[in-house]
Amino acid sequence: MRLAFFGGIYSNHLALAAAIADARSRGVDAMWCLGDLGGFGPHPDRTCELIRNNNVSVVQGNYDHSIGHGLNDCQCGYTDPRDNHFAQLSYDYTLTHNCDDHRTWMRTLPAQQRVEFDGVRLLLCHGSPRRTNEFLWDSTTSTQFLAKMCDNNACDVILGTHTGLHWQRTWDERGAVSTKSRGFINVGVLGRPENDGTINVWYTLLRTGGDVGAGEAPLPWEVEFVPLIYDHERLACEMRDERLPDEFIQTILTGWWTTCLEVLPSKERRRGQW
């Protein structure tokens, strides 16, 4: 099976449309979005329509929970006042521009989904299985912790998003780092680039039931992180027309984050320019 996973869309409907087309061209059998449909970008209804019209299954992110229930903020989990200021501007815009039908639909989305392909048990969530808005960073998350989460949730692979940076780790049944059996995958986000000075965004392909080599057991699953080019200049124009913060537009145009840097651990922060 070939499966596509999209992380936070953040209303980047142009990247989402490009990702759906790209995944289809690779012959995927199914597509999932791991939540956070809105925020940051323009015209949130367009993202919902694309998701709903293209048979993309969805796990509820913190943003979708907030918009669906009409809460006062996005529950993103930022601690810095400047980050929260920009997050609030974005949230208020998104809440105002989502139609009632989409908001009702968001309320019904599951917080997690379990699926099994070729004997590989997948747990799909937004931040982590224990908290929707938990930030799991590569540099600060131990393999022991990830292995325990898999054991506690009776699954082989956990897939999440929320942080904005893709990464993966695999280990074996004894908890040793290995290419075998178990894993955690942050599928990245379609909503904005990864703070590395490039304008592409990322999504993830997962393949189960791989070919059996001569005398070898098949790998139970394989991951491919896909860099995705889309019309980022058009998105920036739309954001400008909607009077969204210039700080957000600069991120789309340059590939560098201008907000939400305070949540980054030092190692992830060093890859950026600030």
- Minimum distance from residue 9 beta carbon to Fe ion (Å): 11
- Which residue sits closest to Fe ion, CB atoms considered? 162
Nearer to Fe ion, 62 or 84 (CB): 62
CB atoms within 10 A of CB 127: 22
268 forms part of the interface with Fe ion (CB under 5 A):
no
164 forms part of the interface with Fe ion (CB under 5 A):
no
163 forms part of the interface with Fe ion (CB under 5 A):
no
- Minimum distance from residue 162 beta carbon to Fe ion (Å): 4
User: Do residues 231 and 191 lie in contact, with contact meaning Cβ atoms separated by under 8 Å?
Assistant: no
Contacts of 142 (CB under 8 A, 6+ apart): none
Nearer to Fe ion, 131 or 169 (CB): 131
62 forms part of the interface with Fe ion (CB under 5 A):
yes
61 forms part of the interface with Fe ion (CB under 5 A):
yes
Nearer to Fe ion, 6 or 117 (CB): 6
| Sole window of 48-56, 110-118, 160-168, 185-193 interacting with Fe ion (rule: CB under 5 A) | 160-168
162 forms part of the interface with Fe ion (CB under 5 A):
yes
User: Which of 14, 15, 19, 36 is the binder for Fe ion (CB under 5 A)?
Assistant: 36
12 forms part of the interface with Fe ion (CB under 5 A):
no
Size of the site for Fe ion (CB under 5 A): 4
192 forms part of the interface with Fe ion (CB under 5 A):
no
Paired sense of beta strands 30-33 and 2-6, if any: parallel
Nearer to Fe ion, 7 or 220 (CB): 7
Nearer to Fe ion, 36 or 194 (CB): 36
Nearer to Fe ion, 164 or 183 (CB): 164
Which residues are registered as beta bridge partners of 113? 124
- Minimum distance from residue 174 beta carbon to Fe ion (Å): 32
| Sole window of 34-42, 105-113, 193-201, 221-229 interacting with Fe ion (rule: CB under 5 A) | 34-42
**Interface positions with Fe ion (CB under 5 A):** 36, 61-62, 162
